[in-house]
Amino acid sequence: GENVEQHPSTLSVQEGDSAVIKCTYSDSASNYFPWYKQELGKRPQLIIDIRSNVGEKKDQRIAVTLNKTAKHFSLHITETQPEDSAVYFCAASRALTFGKGTMLLVSP
Amino acid sequence: GAGVSQSPRYKVAKRGQDVALRCDPISGHVSLFWYQQALGQGPEFLTYFQNEAQLDKSGLPSDRFFAERPEGSVSTLKIQRTQQEDSAVYLCASSLVAAQETQYFGPGTRLLVL
């Protein structure tokens, strides 16, 4: 089955800085890679996703890059704001295999 | 429109009790998923339906866990003889057609087994 590793587990940045979260996956057949944001006690919310036929996708301050050869993908958040503070999960494949999450703390 | 809903939102059960958790997916969504999320962890896949067919149940941790979606819409996850290690948030998600599409999550049912 699929195995997803996510790093770091915690990331603290100053407001306005960039944040990068990285994930690796094991199943070369995986071709769908979403990122979810989960605030405390809330449901996961999709923030961006990428399919294996593209290498990069951007949506305002959020971007995702995918390296299929190396089997890793990354979330990039620029100009971070305090409201970006949450736990972020990457996932891979059909019935999603999730990483363990990254708690992002943005200090004003 | 209405999103994915789940009930109950919170459930406290005594060890050994049976529980039933309900998921109402977004209307018209073909695919439905159940996940288990332990405290501080990512969601872990339990099972997947396409319409009424259960296509993958490889994530169900034991034969005490059973899921159904008899009419291809509402789904129920049943846990028999609950154990303390079953305590978790159970998340339901649905997607429009295929599994490799955006999955919309429900608010979850927080199960506490005492």
DSSP chain B: ----EEE-SEEEE-TT--EEEEEEPPTT--EEEEEEE-TTS--EEEEEEETTEEEE-TT--STTEEEE-TTSS-EEEEESS--GGG-EEEEEEEESSSTTSPPEE---EEEEE-
Nearest to B43 by CA among A62, A38, A47: A38
**Length of chain A, in residues:** 108
Q: Give the residue on B whose Cα is nearest the Cα of A38.
A: B42
Tokens of residue A27, six digits: 């199943």
CB–CB of B102 and A89 under 8 A?
A: no
Q: What is the pLDDT of residue A60?
A: 96
Interface of B with A (CB under 8 A): 33, 35, 40-45, 48, 56, 58-59, 91, 99-108
Least confident of A70-79, B3-12, B72-81, B95-104: B95-104
Please tell me which residue, A30 or B112, carries the higher pLDDT value: B112
pLDDT digits (tens, 9 = 90+) for A25-73: 999 888 899 999 999 989 999 999 998 888 999 999 999 999 999 999 9
Least confident of A13-17, B29-33, B66-70, B99-103: B99-103
Encoded amino acid at A86, one letter: A
Give me the long-range contacts of A62-69 (CB less than 8 A, separation at least 24). Answer: A62/A35, A64/A33, A64/A35, A66/A33, A68/A28
Q: How far apart are CA A29 and CA A26, in angstroms?
A: 9
Instruction: Label the pairing between strands B10-13 and B109-113.
Output: parallel
pLDDT digits (tens, 9 = 90+) for B38-58: 998 999 999 999 999 999 999
Chain B residues with CB under 8 Å of A99 CB are 42
CB contact set of B29 (below 8 Å; sequence gap of 6+): B94, B95, B96, B104
